[in-house]
């Protein structure tokens, strides 16, 4: 992926970003519920007021908790918010779960967003991509670029640590919430994805979150489940009665076997730093 045209190697200020967004006309922000797109929604609302709208795309791969969070974040910002349905499972390339799965998902979602924006006078389409996203091979970014989306955080030269700190100072309720990914990311690459499997993963993760774990992943391969939590919460996951309860609950959901990962979720801690 290339950097946003005019992006800066020296972080720009919030005021710079607000001015940049304001100069480009009515905006649609693709709001997932994560801190990155939430910050963009906050900046767009400051820049444009009621000429900015946040739109969440709901489908089988988006955990319902994420859609609910997006609505709460939008309400806290004061930005108009709507939810669109767009189902990537309609694409056989997505169901096949190959290396480009995310491309086909984003292609479906951005088409829905562009269609909505085209009928609502939108001049610019914004997402939450930032500098750290450039470090990985992300086919989904190719799709949003092809759809003509702009990346204010990337233009500003902000990394994840900057995003979290600015979101904190703006009072966003999810500023320190762990990063998440779509439910399809839990399914081993190459294994076919369907709505029933995604719903099973979601139900399992909701159960674990209800037990008080901060971040959970229920990964699945060949019908088996592997449970990951943050490393500092692994002892509680492995101890009784939680271990037994989790194992029984996930087995009842239809997983052929259940493994509680003693290593914990990799990369569980993200540094937070103040912009100078």
Count of structural domains within the chain? 2
- The domain of 79 spans 14-169
Q: How confident is the model at residue 3 (pLDDT cuts 50, 70, 90)?
A: low
Do 32 and 139 reside in the same domain of the chain? yes
In-domain check, residue 271: no
Q: Are residues 133 and 233 in the same domain?
A: no
Q: Which of 86-90, 130-134, 250-254 has the lowest average pLDDT? A: 130-134
Angle at alpha carbon of residue 165, lines to 209 and 181, rounded to 5°: 35
Q: What mean pLDDT is predicted for residues 177-187? A: 94
pLDDT band of residue 267 (cuts 50, 70, 90) is low
Q: What is the pLDDT of residue 137?
A: 73
* DSSP strand pairing (124-126 vs 27-30): parallel
Residue 198 and residue 164 share a domain: no
Tokens of 149: 């989306």
Per-residue pLDDT for 188 more than 50?
yes
The answer to whether residues 24 and 154 belong to one domain is yes
Residue 34 has pLDDT above 70, yes or no: yes
29 located within any domain: yes
The answer to whether residues 145 and 100 belong to one domain is yes
Strands (E) in 35-132, as ranges, are 52-58, 80-85, 124-126
pLDDT tens digits, 217-261: 999 999 999 999 999 999 999 999 999 999 999 999 999 999 999
pLDDT score of 274 more than 50: no
| CATH code assigned at 21 | 3.40.50.620
Residues comprising the chain, all counted: 276
The answer on 53 and 161 residing in a single domain is: yes
**Do 59 and 145 lie in a common domain?**
yes
Residue 65 lies in a domain: yes
* Cβ density class 132-152: b for 16+ within 10 Å, e for less: bbeeeebbbbbbbbebebbbb
What is the pLDDT averaged over residues 108-132?
97
């Amino acid at each position: 992926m290339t950097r946003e045209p005019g992006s800066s190697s020296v972080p720009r200020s919030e005021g710079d970003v607000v001015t940049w967004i304001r100069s480009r006309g009515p905006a649609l922000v693709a709001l997932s519920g994560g801190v990155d797109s939430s910050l963009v929604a906050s900046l767009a609302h400051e820049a444009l007021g009621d000429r900015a709208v946040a739109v969440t795309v709901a489908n089988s791969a988006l955990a319902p908790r994420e859609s609910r969070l997006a609505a709460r974040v939008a309400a806290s910002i004061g930005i108009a918010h709507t939810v669109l349905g767009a189902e990537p499972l309609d694409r056989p390339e997505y169901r096949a779960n190959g290396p480009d799965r995310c491309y086909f998902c984003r292609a479906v979602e951005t088409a829905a967003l562009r269609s909505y924006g085209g009928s609502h006078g939108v001049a610019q389409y914004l997402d939450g991509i930032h500098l750290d996203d450039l470090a990985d091979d992300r086919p989904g970014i190719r799709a949003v670029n092809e759809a003509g989306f702009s990346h204010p955080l990337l233009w500003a030269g902000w990394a994840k640590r900057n995003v979290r700190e600015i979101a904190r100072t703006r009072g966003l309720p999810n500023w320190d919430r762990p990063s998440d990914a779509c439910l399809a990311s839990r399914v081993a690459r190459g294994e076919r994805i369907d709505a029933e499997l995604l719903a099973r993963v979601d139900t399992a993760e909701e159960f674990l979150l209800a037990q008080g774990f901060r971040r959970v992943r229920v990964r699945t391969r060949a019908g088996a489940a592997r449970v990951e939590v943050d490393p500092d919460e692994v002892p509680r996951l492995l101890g009784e009665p939680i271990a037994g309860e989790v194992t029984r609950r996930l087995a009842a959901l239809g997983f052929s076997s259940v493994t509680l990962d003693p290593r914990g979720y990799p990369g569980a801690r993200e540094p937070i730093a103040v912009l100078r």
